[in-house]
Chains A and B, each alone.
Chain A
Amino acid sequence: MPTFELTPSMMREIIMDHYQNPRHKEKPSQDGYKTLHASSTNCIDDFDLFVKEENGVIKDALWDGVACTISTASTDILCDLVINEDSSKALYIIDQYLKMIGEQPYDESVLDEALVFVNTSKQAARIHCATMGWTTLKEIIEQDEDHHGGH
């Protein structure tokens, strides 16, 4: 969690950094990943998300495809945030993020760099770009829970 106030110029830098040098933009080189496709009729973004879970813990998260700055950076930061978290914590983080984008009260303590997207609703047309990766990951995790009998 950032221990200092994020200034707009830091926020821009974080977004551009993840856009220009995404950390998790690649296809998995081994087996064992679950995957879902993310795309929408409302935008160009079109990518696959890959997740590797072991004993309820997300061991790795990757994505690959065509995406704008907002969906690239937000999906990449999402991967950063959930790797090595258990899936219920990941779901909690995702929910807090979706609340932030939806301008509802949210727990900022778990969002770290994802806080840079706090202004997304200013560009309503990009809200789905900022959330595509997140809702897709949520779907993968929830599918998985259903599959195992879940709670």
Chain B
Amino acid sequence: MIDEKLIRKEFPMLSNPPLMQGHPLVWLDNASTTLKPQCVLDAVSSYYISRTSNSHRGDYDLCYSMDVETELTRKAVSKLINCSPNEVVFTSGTTDSLNRLAQSLQYSLKKGDEIIISLSEHASNVLPWFQIAKHTGAVIKYVELQKDGLITLENLRKTLSKRTKIVSLAQVGNVLGQIQPIKELVAETHKFGAIFIVDGAQSVPHMPVDVKDLDCDFLCFSGHKICGPTGIGVLYGKYKLLEDLELNSVGGGMNDKFYLDGTIKPSKAPAKFEAGTQNLEGILGLRAAIEFIMKIGLENIAEHEHKLKKYAVERIKELGNSVIYNADVKSGIVTFNINDVFAQDAATYLNSKGIACRSGQHCAKLLNDFIGTPATIRASFYFYTTKEDIDKLVDAVSHGKEFLDAYF
């Protein structure tokens, strides 16, 4: 059980909420980013107050201790997703992780090889593959989705072939919040000798994710969606694969030696993927965030969000003026529209009541063609979301027809 009232005291944005349009902020855009607890702010500012130095170049104590801190964060990540610390590469976020992975993997692709994604992927898990397909002649294939956005084993099987080299799918969709049966999908993919990449941006912060159990080859997530700072993220890879993976970004800190004839002798993974000065404040902040989250417990977080989701769905349904697109999905995302009100107008109206929700295509432009509406409103919850937050949302939705009030 989560005591969200107590937890909220730790978040400056919740205990002393900024005003939005004259109302204390109601934060229901957690799929976009999350609020930060004081311990994360303290960890970030400690870098500037008492720990400033670079890592990798430890001739003196401060620097040495930054190296130690970096490894401690790797360890925290490894506990969160159940891997070894040396399987954790720091990046600037999910988008960066996926781009770098695509950059590295392009060297192993030949014309006619296949990359499988789905129509519900975030742009970050679509465009990097488009780019490398353009350069290599590889082909993008889309695995068929069910109406609820789920991918069945059957449908994946139909899409896989001997030419499949990469399958890259989100564990939790950012529009419908559907939770894919990743473990089975991975097993099927491996039968074809392809690698499986998990976009964990919406799953790692909200539910237990165990990469060993899933047996996925790579997994990406962002620090800022798990109460950490922006500009820090993770690329997990099975160690053997990281060892064999081509370099994607080169410079200081990632090589043991280089020679004037152009040969680079890269450091061992994960260091070989971490060129240049790292986001050290972010690395400190990410550890604080992960420790905070793990103390609350990911099972508890998932349960809390699902409970709120059910409550929100019930209450919105009672109003009778809205369509919900993902009523049965077991994550903390509610995607809906108020009848006869364009999503963007509804979101503006919610803004006028101090409620932060997202309207739009949520970067999954392709999916909206599939669910048959150009736009939706998305309310997304986290462990600090309360029933009162949802009551405020429902109250505003009940007056949705008056959306032009936002301007008068």
Chain A interfacial positions (CB closer than 8 Å to B): 8, 11-12, 15-16, 43-45, 66, 68-70, 119-120, 122-123, 125-126, 129
With a cutoff of 8 Å between Cβ atoms, the chain B residues found around residue A45 in the complex are 344
What residue in chain A is nearest B349 (Cβ atoms)? A123
B251 in the interface, Cβ–Cβ < 8 Å? no
- Chain A interface secondary structure, helix, strand, loop or mixed? helix
- Rounded to whole Å, the gap between the CB of A69 and the closest CB of chain B is 5
The answer to whether A70 and B345 have CB atoms under 8 Å apart is: yes
The answer to whether B342 and A68 have CB atoms under 8 Å apart is: yes
The answer to whether A123 and B408 have CB atoms under 8 Å apart is: no
Q: List 26 A-B contacts (CB under 8 A).
A: A11-B408, A12-B404, A16-B404, A43-B344, A43-B360, A44-B342, A44-B343, A44-B344, A44-B361, A44-B374, A45-B344, A68-B344, A68-B345, A68-B348, A69-B342, A69-B403, A69-B404, A70-B348, A119-B407, A119-B408, A123-B348, A123-B351, A123-B406, A123-B407, A125-B348, A126-B348
Whole-angstrom CA separation of A45 from B347 in the bound complex: 14
The answer to whether B352 and A123 have CB atoms under 8 Å apart is: yes
Whole-angstrom CA separation of A11 from B406 in the bound complex: 13
B375 in the interface, Cβ–Cβ < 8 Å? yes
Given contacts A68-B342, A69-B342, contact A122 B407 (CB under 8 A): yes
Q: How many residues of chain B have a CB within 8 Å of chain A?
A: 17
With a cutoff of 8 Å between Cβ atoms, the chain B residues found around residue A120 in the complex are 407
Chain B interfacial positions (CB closer than 8 Å to A): 342-345, 348, 351-352, 359-361, 374-375, 403-404, 406-408
- Chain B interface secondary structure, helix, strand, loop or mixed? helix
With a cutoff of 8 Å between Cβ atoms, the chain A residues found around residue B352 in the complex are 122-123
- Rounded to whole Å, the gap between the CB of A50 and the closest CB of chain B is 20
The answer to whether A12 and B344 have CB atoms under 8 Å apart is: no
What residue in chain B is nearest A122 (Cβ atoms)? B407
- Rounded to whole Å, the gap between the CB of B349 and the closest CB of chain A is 9
- Rounded to whole Å, the gap between the CB of B22 and the closest CB of chain A is 11
With a cutoff of 8 Å between Cβ atoms, the chain A residues found around residue B375 in the complex are 44, 66
With a cutoff of 8 Å between Cβ atoms, the chain B residues found around residue A66 in the complex are 374-375
The answer to whether A125 and B351 have CB atoms under 8 Å apart is: yes
Whole-angstrom CA separation of A95 from B352 in the bound complex: 28
With a cutoff of 8 Å between Cβ atoms, the chain B residues found around residue A8 in the complex are 408
What residue in chain B is nearest A117 (Cβ atoms)? B407
- Rounded to whole Å, the gap between the CB of A40 and the closest CB of chain B is 11
- Rounded to whole Å, the gap between the CB of B123 and the closest CB of chain A is 10
With a cutoff of 8 Å between Cβ atoms, the chain B residues found around residue A15 in the complex are 404
The 6 closest A-B pairs by CB, nearest first: A68-B344, A8-B408, A119-B407, A44-B375, A69-B345, A66-B374
Beyond A66-B375, A69-B345, A122-B352: 9 further Cβ-contacts under 8 Å? A8-B408, A12-B408, A16-B404, A43-B360, A44-B375, A68-B344, A68-B348, A119-B408, A123-B348
